[in-house]
């Protein structure tokens, strides 16, 4: 899917813009990131989304995998307050 999105982007964008967090194997993102030794936080996810939104496109598609914030490592305790609630 990311390659199809990249092919339809005008003007063209780098693959890392279309798919900033890609891991192998094809398992839950937080598990794949852990296996790759990569820490994915809410801050890094938000930065990726902001980067896409700052391109000034007519449409920006943001897709996630798993449960809400499933790939983000966060401290134990209460869930953060989401701004859209």
**CA distances in angstroms from 39 to 1, 21, 23, 56, 75, listed in the order given:** 24, 11, 12, 28, 13
Residue spans of the domains in the chain: they are: 2-53
Give the per-residue pLDDT at 85: 42
| Token code pair at residue 18 | 């279309």
Please check whether residue 39 is in contact with residue 81, taking contact to mean a CB–CB distance below 8 angstroms: no
∠ CA 9-57-8, nearest 5°, is: 15
Q: What is the pLDDT of residues 44-70, one digit of tens each?
A: 888 888 888 888 888 887 776 655 544
Q: What is the pLDDT of residues 18-51, one digit of tens each?
A: 888 888 888 888 888 899 999 888 888 888 888 8
Please check whether residue 32 is in contact with residue 24, taking contact to mean a CB–CB distance below 8 angstroms: yes
């Amino acid at each position: 899917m990311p390659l199809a999105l990249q092919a339809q982007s005008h003007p063209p964008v780098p693959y890392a813009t279309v798919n900033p967090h890609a891991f192998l194997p094809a398992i839950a993102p937080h598990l794949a990131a852990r296996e790759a030794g990569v820490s994915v936080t809410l801050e890094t996810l938000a930065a990726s989304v902001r980067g896409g939104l700052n391109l000034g496109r007519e449409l920006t598609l943001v897709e996630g995998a798993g449960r809400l914030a499933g790939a983000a490592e966060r401290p134990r305790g209460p869930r953060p307050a989401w701004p859209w609630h």
